[in-house]
Amino acid sequence: MRERLRIFLLLMLFWLSYMIFIRGLFLAYNHDLSAQLTAVEMLQTMTHGIRMDASMVGYVLALAGLLLMVSSFAAGIWLHRTLRVITFAVLTLFGLIVMVDLELYRHWGFRLNTTPFFYIGSGALGSVSPGVVVGLIAIFFTLTVLYTWLYNRLISPYTSTLLTKGSLPTAFVMLAVSGLLFFPIRGSISVAPMNTGFVFFHKSKPYANHTAINVIWNFLNSARKGSNVRYPENFVNSADAEARFAALYPASDSTRHLFTTARPNIIFIIIESFTADVIEPLGGLPDIAPNLNKLCKEGILFDNFYSSGDRTDKGLVSILSAYPAQPQTSIIKFPAKTQRMPQLNLELKKLGYKSSFVYGGDVDFANFRSFLTTGGFEHITSANDFPAELDASKWGVHDHFMFAQALHELDTTRSPFFKVILTLSSHEPFDVPMEPFIQGQDEESLFLNSCHYTDKSIGNFIELCKKQPWWDNTIVIMTADHGHRSPGNKELKDKRRFKTPLLIVGGAVRQDTVIHTLAGQTDIANTLLAQLDKPSPEFRFSKDILGNKVVPFAAYFFNDGFGFLLPDKHMVYDNTGKQFLEQTNITEEDITLGKAYEQVLYSDYNKR
């Protein structure tokens, strides 16, 4: 048993040193970029990156552990030879990944994933000089030969002498040790498995965050997930698609100003799963959200508003980057793409806003952290920043505790501020900390009860905000990350499942009003920026809902289909089956327009 455990430990140290070495190699190769980092920041790339390194090492050790377990029953020289062959093959594969990444990062600006394979022969790949290629090949051979020599020197002597069988307890111990690798592989015991957001630590230097990424893990994970989904672009003629798309976003000459000041403080509340069906003024059930029902009469209510997707990760991007959801993927999971997108916070920072993000859950879930960090948020509060006893639900800290923290932070924030608050308590399993408002243990009752709790938390927060000195110069924008199948167990394609609230209240709101214009999540960015007299063409999927030339429409995406809405018109298209699931008052022109919108989105996604 002792010999097998020693080999396992040596292999762990061997591969961990390899992961650390290739990060140092990356820093050295990109020395001009590394010069922008301090010594402390370089060290931080190592300390933060070790978590992803451990995950990658776990995958490699899992196979070695199983082989050592099997050797307890069938010892012999085969184990020595098998481990050598596997190690050399893995070193070769890893070396190739490292070699390609070293140079491509200088051209592409993100760690290697499968995306560059769509551009072989062009761009960065086509610009690599023969001298660079020779240098990279030399690095590959040096790295592979060095670690092959270390393996033969430090580990092979022990595997070559392991010729005797072990006992049954030895086999069980090796199996247990291999099983424990689940924890470093997954990277956490929370709901968020390992992703690149785990290692992002720097708020202003993307290169530091990129360096912390384990490129081997990044590449293999990309290959496993099919990160390079290449969307089709043949729905309509490309030029015709762009022309039709442009007609959806005519430039407005003016907008309807609804704020009393040009630079109000902005609080953004993104409410988990809050479908319009729980808000009475939007045609929803009565009494589920009494506070929001009341606030709808105090501010600006958009009563014909739709989410872009069906998950929080998609909603966050649609709201903060004005970028539509995609059917097969979620762009937030791919930092190489999200770092090229505009972000609302970056536009507000140009106007002098101080920004922060508050969430009671795990901000590493679905790469939230990398997206927010790239977006320039100066402070991020998440579950780890709360006392451990408050982290009492599956997803983290319940909403009323989270709102209390947000209010506390606002007390010391300099104006103008932009604070984004993401709730979580109305997410499954709906285990909210209050006496049931609605009796019953069925999913719909639990969901509605959680919405009532979140509504109560929001109502208390708004009442406390109204007592603050900054209230008269503040707006609060409330919307949902996405809708929900309850109440009514709506189908995923059902447009009612995507209808959500958009409500703006606050002391800086000029008057209460209802806006009936058909719109969606991606339109929030330019509608808000137009109120500040700074709409941005960077948000190409965002229209000013209050503009004088607005075209009313909305689009939403699910699984592998999309819905497209025009006034009194609606269609749902199944991309896989290439058929319409629903059509209401739709003409051929409308169908072409919907397909043009999807094609422009697909083309834009493919190019990022």
pLDDT higher than threshold 90 for residue 366: no
Per-residue pLDDT, 119: 43
Per-residue pLDDT, 72: 83
% of the chain exceeding 90 in pLDDT: 72
The label of the residue with tokens 């707006």 reads: 475
Among left, alpha and beta (phi > 0; psi -120 to 50; other), residue 512 is beta
With residue 380 as reference, give the H or E element that holds it: strand 380-381
pLDDT higher than threshold 50 for residue 126: no
| End-to-end CA separation in angstroms for the chain | 52
User: Per-residue pLDDT averaged across 278-293, rounded?
Assistant: 97
User: Per-residue pLDDT averaged across 123-147, rounded?
Assistant: 81
The C-alpha angle 503, 506, 510, rounded to 5 degrees, equals 90
Lowest mean pLDDT among 112-121, 421-430, 441-450, 553-562: 112-121
Per-residue pLDDT, 581: 81
pLDDT higher than threshold 70 for residue 115: no
User: Per-residue pLDDT averaged across 567-575, rounded?
Assistant: 91
How sure is the predictor about 461, in pLDDT bands with cuts at 50, 70 and 90? very high
pLDDT higher than threshold 60 for residue 124: no
The C-alpha angle 200, 370, 599, rounded to 5 degrees, equals 150
- Pseudo-torsion of CA 590, 235, 331, 482, nearest 10°? 30
Give per-residue pLDDT as tens, 471-504. Answer: 999 999 999 999 999 999 888 788 999 999 999 9
> Which residues lie closer than 8 Å to 527 by C-beta, 6 or more apart?
519, 542, 543, 544, 545, 546
Per-residue pLDDT, 168: 84
- The whole-model pTM stands at 0.82
- Please state, as a whole number, how many other Cβ atoms lie within 10 Å of the Cβ of residue 89: 10
Q: Is 570 annotated as a binding residue?
A: no
Q: Where are the alpha helices (DSSP H) in 312-442?
A: 312-320, 335-338, 344-350, 368-374, 399-410
DSSP string, 53-103: HHHHHHHHHHHHHHHHHHTTTS-SHHHHHHHHHHHHHHHHHHHHHHHHHHH
Give per-residue pLDDT as tens, 224-266. Answer: 876 567 888 888 999 999 999 999 999 999 999 999 999 999 9
How sure is the predictor about 121, in pLDDT bands with cuts at 50, 70 and 90? very low
Give per-residue pLDDT as tens, 56-98. Answer: 999 999 999 898 888 888 877 888 899 999 999 999 999 999 9
Q: Is 329 annotated as a binding residue?
A: no
> Contact at 8 Å (CB) between 503 and 478?
yes
Burial 234-247 (b: 16+ CB within 10 A, else e): ebbeeeebeebbee
User: Per-residue pLDDT averaged across 340-362, rounded?
Assistant: 96
pLDDT higher than threshold 70 for residue 298: yes
Per-residue pLDDT, 228: 60
The C-alpha angle 35, 41, 43, rounded to 5 degrees, equals 105
pLDDT higher than threshold 90 for residue 329: no
Lowest mean pLDDT among 233-237, 371-375, 518-522: 233-237
User: Per-residue pLDDT averaged across 179-207, rounded?
Assistant: 85
pLDDT higher than threshold 60 for residue 364: yes
Give per-residue pLDDT as tens, 9-61. Answer: 999 999 999 999 999 999 999 998 899 999 999 999 999 999 999 999 999 99
Q: Is 516 annotated as a binding residue?
A: no
The residues annotated as belonging to the active site are 312
- Pseudo-torsion of CA 372, 376, 378, 384, nearest 10°? 20
Query: What is the rounded CA–CA span in Å between residue 51 and residue 48?
Result: 6
User: Per-residue pLDDT averaged across 305-325, rounded?
Assistant: 96
Q: Is 482 annotated as a binding residue?
A: yes
Q: SS3 for 514?
A: strand
Q: Is 272 annotated as a binding residue?
A: yes
Lowest mean pLDDT among 96-100, 387-391, 501-505: 387-391
With residue 183 as reference, give the H or E element that holds it: helix 182-186
Give per-residue pLDDT as tens, 196-205. Answer: 888 988 877 8
